[in-house]
Amino acid sequence: MTRKTILAAAAALLFALPMSAQTQKAEEPAAPEGYKYIDSVVFNAAPRYNQELAGKSIFDVLPSEVKVHQSTNLKNAVDSRIRDNKSLQTDGFRIRIYFDNKQDSREASSATEQRFRKRFPGYTTYRTFKNPFFKVTIGDFRTKAEAQVALEKISKEFPSAFIVKEKMRFPVIADGVRYTTDTLRVLVPIAQPANE
């Protein structure tokens, strides 16, 4: 069952539309001779934070046909809470992979960060300076257990890495979800049989 068929079935259930109207597949152009269409998986980086509703009130995203009658005190309370949540932080865990105050620490911390990004793409990195130390920490883990799992992989490449407790933006999406996937139709050449 193709993705379009599944989506059409879901839409038919949701909107009570006749299934035949939903499943009419758009005519795919014929592949040129020697080529065929295949499904390919596309990976997209997942956002580190859920920003879809950041700074919005539920009343801002309601359809225009929905009318809400409420006191001004309630509206002011909701607006105040939204303003406060923009800077809200939560306790979490990160992995420190660099911590030093030598004369060349600025360059060394930058090199460490770049080496980490190449070796472990998908993690958020934070390079900071708090006099006199340069630090490089990675990840946004909600629990120490999540950080421990990542540390096991990372410590093979960065043996001096350790877990630290830090404040981070709220809400944090789990570090385990780094990519979303989708399918795409791709035109590829048909393999020619080898002449014997």
Question: Is the pLDDT reported for residue 165 higher than 80?
Answer: yes
Q: By C-alpha distance, which of 43, 3, 52, 44 is closest to 25?
A: 3
Domains and CATH numbers, the chain: 1-30 (no CATH), 31-58+87-191 (3.30.70.1070)
User: Per the omega criterion (within 30 degrees of 0), is the bond before 159 cis?
Assistant: no
What's residue 112's pLDDT? 93
In the numeric block, which tokens belong to residue 98?
């660099």
Q: What is this structure's pTM?
A: 0.50
User: Hey, which residues does 95 pair with through a beta bridge?
Assistant: 138, 163
CB atoms inside a 10 Å sphere around CB 46: 14
Query: Using one digit for the tens of pLDDT, what is the confidence trace for 108-129?
Result: 999 999 999 999 887 889 999 9
Confidence of residue 152 (pLDDT cuts 50, 70, 90): very high
Under 8 Å between Cβ of 93 and 141: yes
Expressed in percent and rounded to 5, the helix, strand and coil fractions of the chain are 35, 30, 35
How far apart CA 4 and CA 38 sit, in angstroms, is 15
Query: Using one digit for the tens of pLDDT, what is the confidence trace for 46-55?
Result: 665 555 666 6
User: Hey, which residues does 165 pair with through a beta bridge?
Assistant: 93
Least confidently predicted of 49-53, 74-78, 139-143:
49-53
User: Hey, which residues does 89 pair with through a beta bridge?
Assistant: 169
Under 8 Å between Cβ of 141 and 94: yes
